[in-house]
Amino acid sequence: MKIDIIDYDSCSAAGTNLTELRESLQHYRSGLIKNNIPGSTLDTWIGKVEQVDAITDLKQWQSRNNALAALGLEQGTLKQTLAGLLKKYGNTRVGLVMGSSTSSIDRTETAYTDLDEDANLKPQYQQPLVHNPHAPSLFVAHYTGIEGPSLTINTACSSSAKVFATAARWLEYGIVDAVLVGGVDTLCLSVLHGFNSLQLLSANPCKPFDQHRDGINLGEAAGFAILQRAGENPNGLGILLAGYGESSDAYHMSHPHPDGLGARHSMTQALHRAGLEANSIDYINLHGTSSRANDLIEGRLIADLFPSSTQCSSTKAWMGHTLGAAGITEAIITMDTLRTHFIPGSKNLEQLDDALNFSIQSSHKQRVCQHVMTNSFGFGGNNCTLLFSRAE
């Protein structure tokens, strides 16, 4: 079943909304800054959304993650589109699927560093709906009025790519009539220092697929899209979720399978579901984290599966690797090429890894695309590929 994308918007260090994101991409304007997270002295670059600091009025829902979700939902026409669907179908017939890695662990960190004199949580931190892996969906349902089924997916960096697949299945089986999908993750000490312990952080702005890449930069983001069954909304954007692929190779906790077996399966599955051959794909937004192993394995797979006519790029040098929000952030960049005819290049790519040979370059391209893909590969071998097509 084909699924219509009827609205979407993005909020990251590269732009508070889709309009700003487009401008940042076009002008090679990165949102990465030197790490300034309180309590951290790590020498690295981060993609921080500064506007989140001002959102302090969420009361019992207060956390940085929820604040970023709220900021993201205020962008573009998301609230108006959603309000129309809730009125048309009723609050219980609209579903919600969120992806996140951290949920609101930022708030939990703060709570445990600010205990009272008896080592108990202070009243303002006694938030069972916030110190909760399901917090993103609980909060967004509260914020939007959605009363249909809700789910929070945490499959590391593929979390908010998988939300599209789950939403598509819900729509296919008639569980709901529309779905709000989203992803939100925020910077916190656990994330920064956890990735540092894996020796994955770079002290330099990241350089995906470059011969001299030396690690990743982390960022934070919120992104949302609204899905319906194809043909049910005359005001759609002309963008279809035509296919998706999911796999879990479970090779290693943090290292991808050396032959990329799970990643290969997610890409071929997406093509099969869409009824397309590899040579039909005009553009792929790669997972491209700038780590030595991930980029090498993904690049070899792309060279093996796709012809040189398929253009590729990684966009993480604009906002960093936003973890559980990376999937939807890059899905939005990918599907937006079907509207703008603008394929972003790979920022900071100066010399392609000597071991790779595929169609990736630093410069942007103007091209009318018909079919585009995006990859999201997470820890534990949790992989997801999304394929978007221009509606006929």
Positions marked catalytic:
157, 287, 321
Ranges of H-type helices in the chain: 18-26, 64-73, 78-89, 105-112, 135-144, 159-172, 189-197, 261-274, 292-305, 316-319, 326-340
Task: Report the SS3 class of residue 207.
Answer: coil
d(CA 268, CA 271): 5
3-state secondary structure of 174: coil
Which DSSP string corresponds to 275-303? T--GGG--EEE----S-HHHHHHHHHHHH
Give the separation between CA 121 and CA 251, rounded to whole angstroms: 39
Q: Is 253 helix (H, G, I), strand (E, B) or coil?
A: coil
Residue 101 CB: number of other CB atoms within 10 A? Answer: 26
Strand order in the sheet with 33-34: 33-34, 45-47, 218-219
Would you say 64 and 55 are in contact if contact means Cβ atoms under 8 Å apart?
no
